[in-house]
């Protein structure tokens, strides 16, 4: 298959230090995420999935190894370049939503634009931004909750708001860390189906991180974390 590789990790290593003892978490991770596909990354709790996601999102530095986005090195880029990489190309969603509690759903969805643009630019474009935020809320089925705060929403609704926020800046790649991990089975299924819709309709590439094997079944490709390294699941290779 000749698919374009959007995100690539080569021999990533990361240890944490506890009481001066080195605890290796990632011991040489190789990963390729192909454009337009859903790639699952499965591993049990504590296996290093979130650690890896933080490295891939340039929120943390690897001890060793390389990360490329569309062929461009990220691991050794300047802080400004790493921030630009994240803001321009990535959507990120977390298990626990990470919504701002004081803001309504629509304000949470608008927040990435408020942060990434100057006050003047944001003010100039605010009507278009609000229309786009409403469109995003509509696409995730949450327009009727636009003015609700997170405390007034269910877990599924909060995750929908988090998805709308993550996709507000039209990223090409979504990193989803246990997007269903805190939801009941049916709600989790709805969230997965919503993510699949964005993959099919917009060509959004998705890296889906999960401890749940059944979630990986819907992915085009599957990696398994074991002993700080990733192995590909041959049954899932080259499906798309
Ligand atoms: P997963 O997301 O697969 O559950 P994590 O990446 O969160 O796993 O954690 C992997 C291992 O690294 C765990 O043993 C965890 O305790 C440890 N760990 C994670 N973050 C830190 C940290 N900031 N400091 C020390 N140890 C950490
Ligand atoms: Mg985790």
pLDDT in tens, 175-218: 999 999 999 999 999 999 999 999 999 999 999 999 988 888 88
**Candidate CATH numbers 3.30.70.100, 3.40.50.300, 3.30.70.1450, 3.30.70.260; the one for domain 5-236:** 3.40.50.300
Residue to substitute in 22, 44, 48, 210 for testing ligand 1 pocket (most ligand atoms within 8 angstroms of CB): 48
Span 93-138, pLDDT tens digits? 988 889 999 999 999 999 988 877 778 888 888 999 999 999 999 9
d(CA 136, CA 220): 25
pTM score, whole prediction: 0.93
Question: What protein residues have CB closer than 5 angstroms to ion ligand 2?
Answer: 49-50
Q: Which ligand is nearest to the CA of 94?
A: 2
Q: How far is the CA of 51 from the centre of ligand 1 (A)?
A: 6
Q: What is the pLDDT of residue 240?
A: 40
Task: Answer for the pair 104, 147: CB distance below 8 angstroms, yes or no.
Answer: yes
d(CA 7, CA 39): 11
Q: What is the pLDDT of residue 118?
A: 79
The residue with tokens 């506890």 is 18
* Burial profile 158-188: b = 16 or more Cβ within 10 angstroms, e = fewer: bbbbbbbbbbbbebbbbbbbbbbbbbeeebb
- In ligand 1, which atom is closest to the CA atom of 178? 2
Half-sphere exposure in the Cβ direction for 156 (13 Å, CA): 14
């Amino acid at each position: 298959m000749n698919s374009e590789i959007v995100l690539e990790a080569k021999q990533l290593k990361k240890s944490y230090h506890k009481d001066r003892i080195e605890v290796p978490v990632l011991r040489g991770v190789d990963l390729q995420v192909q454009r337009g596909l859903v790639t699952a990354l499965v591993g049990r709790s504590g296996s290093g999935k979130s650690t890896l996601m933080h490295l891939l999102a340039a929120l943390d530095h690897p001890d060793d190894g390389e990360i490329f986005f569309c062929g461009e090195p990220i691991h050794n880029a300047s802080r400004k370049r790493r921030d630009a990489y994240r803001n321009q190309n990535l959507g990120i969603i977390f298990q626990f939503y990470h919504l701002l509690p004081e803001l309504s759903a629509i304000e949470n969805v608008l927040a990435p634009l408020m942060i990434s643009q100057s006050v003047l630019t944001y003010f100039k474009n605010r009507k278009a931004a609000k229309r786009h935020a409403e469109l995003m809320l509509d696409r995730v089925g949450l327009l009727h909750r636009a003015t609700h705060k997170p405390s007034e929403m269910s877990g599924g609704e909060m995750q929908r708001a988090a998805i709308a926020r993550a996709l507000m800046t039209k990223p090409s790649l979504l990193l989803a860390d246990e997007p269903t991990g805190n939801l009941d089975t049916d709600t989790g299924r709805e969230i997965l189906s919503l993510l699949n819709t964005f993959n099919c309709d917009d060509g959004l590439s998705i890296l889906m991180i999960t401890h749940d094997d059944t979630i990986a079944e819907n992915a085009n490709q599957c990696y398994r974390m074991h002993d700080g390294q990733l192995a590909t699941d041959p049954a899932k290779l080259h499906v798309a």
